[in-house]
Structure 1
Amino acid sequence: MYRERAKILFELYTTIEKANNLAQELSYIFENNKHKDVDRLKLAHCYDKGPSPPKEESDSIL
């Protein structure tokens, strides 16, 4: 049941799917790696994959 809902949700909102995948990847990094340098490198790769906020949102945050 959860997979069906997730599939529908991800088809309608691809940004949510990307965010979910990044969250899972981050979780894996922190649960399975024991070396700080490796963790930092993998975290940097995750950060590079992440979506950037639209211009309006980034302006309103500041």
Structure 2
Amino acid sequence: MNFLKNMATLFALLAVTACSSTPVKQAAPEPSSGSNVTMCTMDIKQCPSGKSVGRSGPQCQFVCD
């Protein structure tokens, strides 16, 4: 019984180690050479109406409706 408990613990440790040490990489899509891609920072502004908006558009402006 003790042997099975030790094996289960060892298996669990190996599984956790394998999952936590495996890097997950997701590549960002490369823009084509002729396109104008604008990437805005992920700031948030609270509008007077109470609505929260992020930056958008080619000038990365906050747009409150």
TM-score past 0.5 threshold: no
TM-score (norm 2): 0.31
**Counting strand residues as a fraction of each chain, which structure ranks higher?**
2
Determine which structure has greater relative contact order: mean sequence separation of CA pairs < 8 Å that are 6+ residues apart, divided by chain length: 1
